[in-house]
Amino acid sequence: MQGFLYKLKQFMYGRNGLDGLGIGLFVLYFILNNISYYSRSWILNIIAIAVLVFMIFRLLSANIVKRRAENDFFMYYFRRVRSWYTRHADLAKDRARVKDTHKIYLCPKCKRKLKVPKGRGKLEIKCICGNKFTKRT
């Protein structure tokens, strides 16, 4: 077993290996493969296999500079989507936690969460960044 692992390490030396885009491609393959299985769509199955082949190509590629540029491009947009989702999921949790006594608004300028007491009518809300906006509570 040690000889096999040594040969595998030796083979992978100087190759790209698994990165964020590779993991994303594998998740996409898994999703497409399951959808194609249950919908019995051969087109989705071919697309899933193409995604898997591309993932393996990237995994074994020796052109690390290009693969790193592809991964950086993917991770830039993936982080933006993930931070947007996280921000909105956290806002929904906070709103649910204080829904009886307060309302939570996002500052239009800096996107900071501001908690305002309910039942006060129209209020002018001032954020820490200096931005003022009016909301009905």
Tell me if 134 sits within 8 A of 125, measured CB to CB.
Answer: yes
Under 8 Å CB-to-CB from 131, ≥6 apart: which residues? 107, 108, 109, 110
pLDDT in tens, 47-85: 989 988 988 888 888 788 888 888 889 889 888 888 887
* pLDDT for residue 66: 85
pLDDT digits (tens, 9 = 90+) for 85-113: 787 777 777 777 777 788 878 888 888 88
The domain ranges of the chain are 2-97, 101-137
Is the pLDDT reported for residue 14 higher than 70? no
Best CA proximity match to 20, nearest among 10, 28, 9, 11:
28
CA distance 136 to 123: 6
Does the reported pTM lie above 0.85? no
Residue 12 pLDDT: 67
Q: How much is the pLDDT for 8? A: 72
**Strand 113-117 with 122-126, pairing:** unpaired
Instruction: Dump pLDDT digits (tens) for 29-50.
Output: 999 999 998 998 899 889 989 9
Q: What is the pLDDT of residue 32?
A: 92
Region 9-19: mean pLDDT is: 72
Question: What are 112's two structure tokens?
Answer: 């900071």
Would you place residue 137 in the very low, low, confident or very high pLDDT band (cuts 50, 70, 90)? confident
